[in-house]
Amino acid sequence: MTKMPLWLKLTAGFIVLVVGFVLLRPAPIDVEVGTVEMRPFFEAIEEQGRTRARNPFLITAPVSGRLLRTSLDEGDRINSGEVIAVIAPAPQDQRSSAFAQANLAAAEARLAVANASLRETMSAYERVTREKERREELFERSLASAEETEQYRQLSAAEEARVQSAHASVMAAQADIESARALLLGADPDDQVSDQAVIEIKAPVAGTVHRVLEENERVVQAGTPLLNLSNQDSLEIVVDLLTQDAVKVEAGDTVYISGWGGDRTLNAFVRSIEPEAYTKVSALGVDEQRVNVIIDLIDPPPNLGAEYRVEVAIVTWQANSTLTIPTSAVFQRSSGWHTFVVEDNRVELKPIMIGARDQERTRVLGGVSEDDQVILYPSDLINEGSSVRF
């Protein structure tokens, strides 16, 4: 029998080893990858909020008497000065006359307060307008930033709305005075007044009837709520934030509104943060300190009404271009945040530093570079050095 040459034995042994290695090595793991990219990004505080009427008015009975049945329904549009309720006053005695005089004095005092508030808001509006015009002039000369100029434009628009609200308050106070004077009709025995004299309550502003609180005819006392009235086209959003989040928010911050039922995201801005917080019990029974943030819609849709629930994202920081990674590629281990980077179909575990994140992208502060391929939704099968394919 002929002996097999040594070189042939070695060659056969090498082939057996190669085939065994190929057959026994683990198969590559199928993965889905994403890319580390430079993208626009913003940090935002997200919370649920609700819409409410910008200039709400609670119409109350100015005097005690017999309220006549109203013909108004919820959703009716009314004009400024339109009669919205009628009260037939009770016969006047000495006590009722004194009450009517006091009610008139109170209405006149409210008018004085409303006029003072109007003067104050007009002064603030003029000051902000002058500052806005100065900023626009500096911006045209490239001495002020576009963000700063836009902020003063927004503040000027907010102050203009406050002036409109103050005007409406003056008109409401004037209407209260007219109602109080009407109550005095017939109080003087020498004054010839018909027994059928009535008090007409007029709308202080043009708007929409939100609620009819007293629909049927009955005797009411002075101060009884009759109607909720507001301008349906003028809405604002109120959102209560934890105080530790509210300190990051400033007037003029950009706000994005979603979850209101429409397809598009609504643009808005922060008008003000209320100066005093309050305690609210969370769903878990924990006392939380919260504060209301008031937001103005820039272009509200016509089908958005008052007391609607919305999702609010208040932008506290933004950049036109910053390094981001898919959020699904980031995971936490005992030593911090990590991600799996794929190089030549091999997995490398890299620690990373991250900033703010949302559902899709996370801001990266260090650890990876632009265009790195990272594994999305990594499973427990993937480890350092694993072979993968995508």
The answer on pLDDT for 269 being more than 90 is: yes
Average pLDDT over residues 299-307: 83
Are 265 and 251 in a shared domain? yes
The answer on pLDDT for 198 being more than 80 is: no
* CA dihedral angle for residue 56, residue 62, residue 64, residue 67, rounded to 10 degrees: -60
Cα–Cα distances (Å) from 247 to 12, 149, 256, 281, in that order, read 75, 23, 19, 20
Are 125 and 223 in a shared domain? yes
Whether 70 is covered by a domain: the verdict is: yes
| CATH code for the domain of 150 | 1.10.287
CA atoms within 13 A on the CB side of 138: 15
* Percentage of residues in the chain having pLDDT higher than 90: 21
Confidence band, pLDDT 50/70/90 cuts, at residue 274: very high
User: Domain total for the chain?
Assistant: 3
3-state secondary structure of 97: helix
pLDDT at 1: 46
Are 185 and 86 in a shared domain? yes
| CATH code for the domain of 336 | 2.40.420.20
The answer on pLDDT for 232 being more than 80 is: no
* Across 50-64, 98-112, 189-203, 256-270, least confident range: 189-203
Whether 17 is covered by a domain: the verdict is: no
Token pair listed for 146: 């576009």
The answer on pLDDT for 190 being more than 70 is: no
Indicate the residue among 199, 214, 230 that finishes a domain: 230
The answer on pLDDT for 5 being more than 80 is: no
pLDDT digits (tens, 9 = 90+) for 145-171: 777 777 777 877 887 888 888 888 888
Are 294 and 210 in a shared domain? no
Average pLDDT over residues 211-236: 82
Q: In this structure, what DSSP letter does residue 318 have? A: E
Are 278 and 214 in a shared domain? no
Are 182 and 241 in a shared domain? no
Confidence band, pLDDT 50/70/90 cuts, at residue 271: very high
* Percentage of residues in the chain having pLDDT higher than 70: 86
| CATH code for the domain of 260 | 2.40.30.170
CA gap 228, 132 in Å, rounded = 36
The answer on pLDDT for 184 being more than 80 is: no
| Dihedral sign computed on CA atoms, order 68, 69, 75, 81 | negative
pLDDT at 247: 93
Are 70 and 219 in a shared domain? yes
Of 335, 333, 341, nearest to 384 by C-alpha is 341
Whether 121 is covered by a domain: the verdict is: yes
pTM of the prediction?
0.52
Are 221 and 353 in a shared domain? no
Indicate the residue among 318, 345, 375 that finishes a domain: 318
The answer on pLDDT for 19 being more than 90 is: no
Are 384 and 332 in a shared domain? yes
The answer on pLDDT for 279 being more than 60 is: yes
pLDDT at 92: 60
pLDDT at 192: 42
Confidence band, pLDDT 50/70/90 cuts, at residue 189: very low
3-state secondary structure of 162: helix
Indicate the residue among 230, 245, 261 that finishes a domain: 230
pLDDT at 341: 92
* CA dihedral angle for residue 190, residue 194, residue 198, residue 199, rounded to 10 degrees: -30
Are 87 and 186 in a shared domain? yes
Contact 343, 26 (CB under 8 A): no
Are 332 and 370 in a shared domain? yes
Token pair listed for 358: 């949302």
pLDDT digits (tens, 9 = 90+) for 62-75: 888 888 888 888 87
| Dihedral sign computed on CA atoms, order 45, 236, 134, 123 | negative
Whether 18 is covered by a domain: the verdict is: no
The answer on pLDDT for 106 being more than 60 is: yes
Confidence band, pLDDT 50/70/90 cuts, at residue 266: very high
CA atoms within 13 A on the CB side of 143: 6
Whether 59 is covered by a domain: the verdict is: no
- Which of residues 277 and 69 earns the better pLDDT score? 277
Whether 186 is covered by a domain: the verdict is: yes
Of how many residues is the chain composed?
A: 390
Q: What are phi and psi of 221, to 5 degrees?
A: -95, 155
- Which of residues 28 and 35 earns the better pLDDT score? 35
Are 80 and 215 in a shared domain? yes
Whether 86 is covered by a domain: the verdict is: yes
Average pLDDT over residues 230-237: 74
Using the structure block, give the residue that is written with the tokens 């089908």.
303
Cα–Cα distances (Å) from 273 to 5, 28, 344, in that order, read 92, 55, 53
pLDDT at 214: 86
Whether 112 is covered by a domain: the verdict is: yes
Contact 67, 219 (CB under 8 A): yes
Owning domain of residue 312:
43-51+233-318
Residue 374 CA to chain centroid, in angstroms? 35
Average pLDDT over residues 237-247: 93
- Which of residues 359 and 350 earns the better pLDDT score? 350
Using the structure block, give the residue that is written with the tokens 């034995």.
9
* Across 91-95, 289-293, 330-334, 380-384, least confident range: 91-95
